[in-house]
Amino acid sequence: MKIKEILLVLEEMAPLAYAEDFDNVGLLVGDQNTEATGVLVCHDALENVIDEAITKKCNLVVCFHPILFSGLKKITGKNYVERSIIKAIKNDIAIYAVHTALDNHQNGVNKIFCDALGLKNTKVLIPKQNFIRKLVTYTIPENAEKVRNALFDAGAGNIGNYEDCSFNSKGIGTYMGNENSDPQLGERFEFVETAEIKIEVTFEKYLESKILKTLFSNHAYEEVAYEIYELQNSHQNIGLGMIGEFETPMNEKAFLTAVKQKMEAEGIRHSAFTGKPIKKVAVLGGSGSYAIKNAIMAGADAFLTADLKYHQFYEAENQLLLADIGHFESERYTKNYIVDYLRKKILNFAIILSEENTNPVKYL
């Protein structure tokens, strides 16, 4: 099995198009055409993790955080990033990062967070914007079903919890071909007026080239008439953060105690208690201070995230309990999820969970 075959599975789990624009995801180091010997899954691809990969004969390291985030002008080994990259290259080890591609997935980082806490009825906290497009095309009735079904198979027509969604309307199409045309109906220089079906389907924007290729290969006409629009609708199943509910509310102290235990947090910083029971909880793994207002607007009783600054705790405004449980802690079960996913998809192959603790924050 080549590394590129494993990368296809990783992109099924967390499409790279889901990542934020600022992020650096995908294959960061290595040749995807290399034969894979094993996969080591970690949180951070540090030098000690590369050593672990060498020991365990894994030439693909799948990490959550990208070890290469901002540009490097020199690679001399002067810092932890450069040392990791040098060691990986010297030992022919590829590095692949998922980061916000998995953050934004409905089954990704924040769903894992919610599941660890036992939250139910979960939904995305900050739905992704400008991610949905609509295709409009026209064809003869005899060709409509073929075109529709092919577009569905290519990924079009998925809306929330529904699939194979389209809108179809009847109309009259007209055309006249020139000397270079080869019309499906009629002859060159003949004015043709025929019944047509207008088909409208939505799709995620990263699928556009696939959708158009499918349209062209399944359409009856020599010249395919189509339009693509960018929609303002939010994508309710893709985005950052998540919100869910406990079946039974609990008081704030009991809630934080449960969070500390379930997320294996060594310490939790939090805002002042509001005195209200905790039932509805918003979460955002990693640095999530920008989502405090979103959590309040969503009616959360508590918001769990990490990397909060001093003044940001004031933003709770006594409307919710704001808690910083630690960056690593809020994402700690992500690598377990990746391992489980790969093991289900790739059988009889070494998929190994890293034993290295890469949390840089220590507690006294």
How high is the pLDDT of residue 185?
A: 84
Radius of gyration of the chain (CA): 25
Q: Tell whether 124 and 149 lie within a shared domain.
A: no
The residue segments making up the domain with residue 47 are 3-99+333-353
Domain-located, residue 359: no
> What pLDDT, on a 0 to 100 scale, did the predictor assign at position 140?
95
For residue 148, the domain's CATH number is 3.30.70.120
Residues 253 and 115 in one domain: yes
The count of structural domains within the chain is 3
Instruction: Examine the fold and report which residue of 172, 197, 231 is the final residue of a domain before the chain moves on.
Output: 231
Residues 183 and 248 in one domain: no
Give burial (CB, 10 Å; 0-12/13-18/19+) of 363: exposed
Q: What does pTM read for this prediction?
A: 0.89
Annotated ligand binding at 103? The verdict is yes
pLDDT at 71: 82
Distances 3 to 36, 122, 337, 338 between C-alpha atoms, Å: 5, 34, 20, 16
Same domain, 174 and 306: no
User: Do 124 and 92 belong together in one domain?
Assistant: no
- The amino acid that residue 252 corresponds to is E
Which pLDDT score is estimated for 321?
Answer: 98
Q: Are 42 and 66 contained in the same domain?
A: yes
Q: Strands 39-44, 60-65: parallel, antiparallel or unpaired by DSSP?
A: parallel
243, 291: one domain: yes
**pLDDT tens for each residue of 243-294:** 999 999 999 999 999 999 999 999 999 999 999 999 999 999 999 999 999 9
> Which residues of the chain are under the pLDDT cut of 50?
none
- In this structure, are 69 and 190 located in the same domain? no
One domain, residues 31 and 111: no
Do 307 and 340 have their domain in common? Answer: no
Residue 65 marked as a ligand binder: yes
Res 160: pLDDT: 80
255 within some domain? yes
Is residue 358 assigned to a domain?
Answer: no
222 domain-assigned:
yes
Tell me if 51 is assigned to a ligand binding site: no
Predicted confidence at residue 186, as pLDDT, reads: 86
Which CATH number do you get for residue 77? 3.40.1390.30
Percent of the chain scoring above 90 in pLDDT: 92
